[in-house]
Amino acid sequence: MTKNKNELFIGRLGRDPELKYTRKLKPVCHLAVGINESDKAEWKKVVVWGEQAELCKTHLKKGQSVFVQGQIKEQSYINKKGEDQSYLEVNASLVGFTNL
């Protein structure tokens, strides 16, 4: 896992937030945020931790506009075929939204 750079963007949620808890009962919420780039959407995987994760689950829903600030991290794993795979996700330090 390598850290790349800071990210700052506004987009819309592609699905309702998914809240889970680690074995040590730390809340973690996963968001899929779509950003319009000309004619197609670019999707960002966003991870939110702690109290902010629980607030995201409580107050956000699919289609809502959100502001995200955080660090991009490259995650890697070995798939079922034994091949190395990787993807980028944003480890959010701040998620902003309105209830308008």
What does the pLDDT look like over 18-70, one tens digit per residue? 999 999 999 999 999 999 877 788 999 999 999 999 999 999 999 999 999 99
What's the full length of the chain, in residues?
A: 100
What does pTM read for this prediction?
Answer: 0.85
Element (H, E) at 73: strand 65-78
Sorted by sequence, the CB contacts under 8 Å of residue 80 that are 6+ apart come out as: none
CATH number at residue 40: 2.40.50.140
pLDDT of residue 36: 85
- Residue 29 and residue 14: Cα distance in Å, rounded? 14
Residue 100 has pLDDT above 70, yes or no: no
Residue 93 has pLDDT above 90, yes or no: yes
In this structure, are residues 1 and 25 in contact, taking their beta carbons and an 8 Å threshold?
no
Number of domains in the chain: 1
pLDDT of residue 4: 58
For residue 6, the enclosing domain spans 2-97
Q: How confident is the model at residue 1 (pLDDT cuts 50, 70, 90)?
A: very low
